[in-house]
Chains A and B, each alone.
Chain A
């Protein structure tokens, strides 16, 4: 079982190439919003989701994708999908 902190670090690595706001990225917490804080555009957010799928070997459906607006919700979805495996 991977820890919360580990997942946060892994997500940070995944979002890094798409981030437009470095300050927000450096201060990233569970509450950090991908679009509003990190300034990732909706097209790049799709790539973030696909990179998350690849990293954890999970499939994210449309409904889950729409919920993944911040670090916390992304962690929750990843945890749910990993538990379903």
Chain B
């Protein structure tokens, strides 16, 4: 499966798709990027006259790249439209703010993939290479 095919299989579309590019992916992990365009709708309200990327959106980007892309890759041919990857837990530390027009890189390392549960250690970095978030995210294939 090519990186582009993995992105095409993601169950999200614009306004809630937070994956631009997969840099590399293998059975142990994935790295990918997303550019936070200043016109994204949530910046109008978070916060009033002071746009900062919400933590839930950062978490979502970490989950989409770090967990869902990797899950689709690991499931390979057995992945189809009837399967979804449900977020089951996330524990994230937010270290630095992410402002509009920043490109982030998400790096995810598989901790385990057993009994349909994928658990990963996920880091998000900004363009300076600084860690902006770090944590553990898990999901179940259902």
Stretch binding the partner chain, chosen from A8-16, A29-37, A39-47 = A39-47
* Residue A49, interface by CB 8 Å: yes
Q: Are B89 and A46 in contact (CB under 8 A)?
A: no
B114, CB-defined interface residue at 8 Å: yes
A3 — which chain B residues lie within 8 A by C-beta? none
Chain A residues with Cβ below 8 Å from B139 are 43
In the complex, what distance in Å separates the CA atom of A49 from the CA atom of B117?
12
A42 partner residues in chain B, CB cutoff 8 A: 140
The complex places the Cα of A1 from the Cα of B138 at a distance, in Å, of 36
Contact residues of B: prevailing secondary structure: strand
Known A-B contacts A42-B140, A43-B117, A43-B140; the reply to A50 vs B88 at CB < 8 A is: no
Most A CB contacts (10 A, CB to CB) among B88, B115, B140 go to B115
Find out whether the CB atom of B88 lies under 8 angstroms from the CB atom of A49: no
**A65/B88 contact (C-beta < 8 A), A42-B140, A43-B140 known:** no
CA of A42 to CA of B142, assembled, Å: 11
Contact between A43 and B114, CB atoms less than 8 A apart? no
| B112 interface hit (Cβ, 8 Å) | yes
What is the distance, in angstroms, from A54's C-beta to the closest C-beta of chain B?
11
Which residue of chain A is the closest to B112 with respect to CB atoms?
A50
The answer, among B88, B112, B115, for a CB contact under 8 Å with A41, is B88
B45 close to A (CB within 8 Å): no
Q: Is B112 within 8 A of A43, CB to CB? A: no
